[in-house]
């Protein structure tokens, strides 16, 4: 039994976009390096600032990029691309309630602020709805539709 989730030489898929945090020489800070769905092979395993990092060789771009464990999955596991990106306008398919309080009505419009991949469940989105922009809701793709109007929300 290995301490690591992935092994050197294993084929992996990227779940979230990777942007340069300033550690990749020759690329601008904030520049997108890889996209969800990109795949490569684990080249090495190390730690950086007490975080386990897998250096992945993405063959299509020819880049070696450090990825955290939560950003990767085994290539052979089922995967589908995310439907929404941060900044996308969405609407709730159903009314959402918590302890009897309505958080948003069916059809309520909001904006995706964060996207995460939850193993076994797919992508989860943090959404801020217009009716109460101070409140964030975590929703699965099946609970959301793309809004007709894609103009940014006023805060």
Per-residue pLDDT reduced to its tens digit, 7-41: 999 999 999 888 888 877 888 898 899 999 999 99
2 domain-assigned: no
Indicate whether 76 pLDDT > 70.
yes
pLDDT tens for residues 36-66? 999 999 999 998 888 899 999 998 888 899 9
Q: What's the structural domain count of the chain?
A: 2
The pLDDT of 80-106, averaged and rounded, is 89
4 domain-assigned: no
In angstroms, rounded to a whole number, what is the distance separating the alpha carbons of residues 115 and 125?
5
Confidence of residue 122 (pLDDT cuts 50, 70, 90): confident
Give the residue with greater pLDDT, 102 vs 69: 69
Q: Are residues 67 and 93 in the same domain?
A: no
pTM, to two decimals: 0.75
Q: What are residue 12's DSSP bridge partners?
A: 40, 74
5 domain-assigned: no
The pLDDT of 132-143, averaged and rounded, is 87
CA distances from 34 to 21, 43, 98, 140 (A): 13, 16, 37, 23
84 domain-assigned: no
Q: What percent of the chain has pLDDT over 90?
A: 50
On the 0-12 / 13-18 / 19+ scale of CB atoms within 10 A, 90 is: buried
Q: Are residues 17 and 66 in the same domain?
A: yes
Which structural domain, as residue segments, surrounds residue 121? 89-146
Q: Are residues 54 and 17 in the same domain?
A: yes
Q: Are residues 66 and 94 in the same domain?
A: no
34 domain-assigned: yes
pLDDT value, residue 12: 97
pLDDT value, residue 152: 58
pLDDT value, residue 154: 56
CA distances from 133 to 21, 39, 40, 112 (A): 29, 36, 39, 12
81 domain-assigned: no
82 domain-assigned: no
66 domain-assigned: yes
Q: CATH no. for residue 65?
A: 2.30.30
Confidence of residue 151 (pLDDT cuts 50, 70, 90): low
pLDDT value, residue 1: 57
Q: Are residues 63 and 106 in the same domain?
A: no
């Amino acid at each position: 039994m290995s301490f690591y989730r992935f092994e050197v030489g294993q084929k992996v898929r990227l779940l979230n976009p990777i942007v340069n945090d300033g550690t990749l020489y020759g690329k601008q800070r904030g520049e997108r390096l890889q996209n969800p769905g990109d795949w490569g092979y684990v080249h090495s395993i190390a730690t950086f600032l007490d975080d386990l990092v897998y250096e992945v060789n993405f063959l299509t771009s020819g880049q070696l990029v450090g990825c955290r464990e939560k950003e990767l999955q085994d290539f052979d596991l089922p995967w589908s691309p995310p439907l929404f990106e941060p900044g996308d306008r969405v609407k709730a398919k159903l009314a959402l309630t918590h302890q009897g309080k309505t958080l948003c009505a069916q059809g309520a419009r909001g904006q995706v602020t964060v996207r995460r991949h939850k193993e076994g469940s797919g992508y989860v989105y943090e959404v801020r709805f217009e009716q109460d922009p101070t409140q964030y809701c975590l929703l699965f793709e099946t609970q959301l539709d793309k809004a007709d109007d894609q103009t940014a929300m006023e805060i």
